[in-house]
Amino acid sequence: MPDRWLRLFDQVARTVRPNDLVSVTVGCDRGPDGLLAGEGECGAFLPSDGGLRLVWRGATVHVTASGDRRFVHVRQSAQELLTRMADLRGPGLQGLPGPVLVGGVAFRPDAQRDAAWAAFGDGSFTLPRWVWGQADGRSFVRLTLVAGELHDPNEARALALEAAQIGQHADLETNPYACAHQDADADSTRWGETVHVALEAMTAGQLDKVVLAREATVRLDRPLDPDGVVQRLAAVERDATVFAFQRQGKTFLGATPELLVRRTGRQVTSEALAGTAADAAPQSTLQGDKVEREHGWVREAVREALGPLCDTLHIDEQPTVRELHGLRHLRSRVQGTLAADVHVLDLVERLHPTPATCGTPRQVALAFLKAHEGFDRGWYAGAVGWFDAAGDGCFVVALRCGLVEADRVRLFAGAGLVRGSDAQAEWAETRWKLQPMLRALGGTA
Q: Give the 3-state DSSP-derived string for the chain, with helices as H, strands as E and coil as C.
A: CHHHHHHHHHHHHHHCCCCCEEEEEEEECCCCCCCCCCCCCEEEEECCCCCCEEEEEEEEEEEEECCCCHHHHHHHHHHHHHHCCEEEECCCCCCCCCCEEEEEECCCCCCCCCHHHCCCCCEEEEEEEEEEEEECCEEEEEEEEEHHHHCCHHHHHHHHHHHHHHHCCCCCCCCCCCEEECCCCCCHHHHHHHHHHHHHHHHCCCCCEEEEEEEEEEEECCCCCHHHHHHHHHHHCCCCEEEEEEECCEEEEEEECCEEEEEECCEEEEEEEEEEEECCCCHHHHHCHHHHHHHHHHHHHHHHHHHHHEEEEEECCCCEEEEECCEEEEEEEEEEEECCCCCHHHHHHHHCCCCCCCEECHHHHHHHHHHHCCCCCCCCCCEEEEEECCCCEEEEECCCEEEEECCEEEEEEEEEEECCCCHHHHHHHHHHHHHHHHHHHCCCC
The catalytically annotated residue of 41, 215, 237, 258 is: 258
200 carries an active-site annotation: no
The catalytically annotated residue of 209, 237, 250, 373 is: 209
162 carries an active-site annotation: no
Would you name the residues annotated as active-site residues?
209, 258
